[in-house]
Amino acid sequence: MDRLDASALRCPLPLLRVKLWLKAARTGQQLWLRLSDPGSRQDLPGYLERAGQSVEVVADHPDRLELIITKHP
């Protein structure tokens, strides 16, 4: 499983990093992602679902959101 701690990044950088990962990842590959930016925490899960990717919330705290993303075709 790949890991991306984007907690120090502000919108739109987490989204750009995830898009690059999706482009390079193989079907079935997973990414653990940590976010702290309020805009990214709100926007990224919805974007991923609309893009047809699986998103599992691992932790949802006031200061951070942790997700596991599974790449789909």
What positions carry a catalytic annotation? 11
C-alpha span between 69 and 58 (Å, rounded): 10
Q: How far is CA 49 from the centre of its chain?
A: 10
Q: If residue 1 lies in a helix (H) or strand (E), which one and from where to where?
A: none
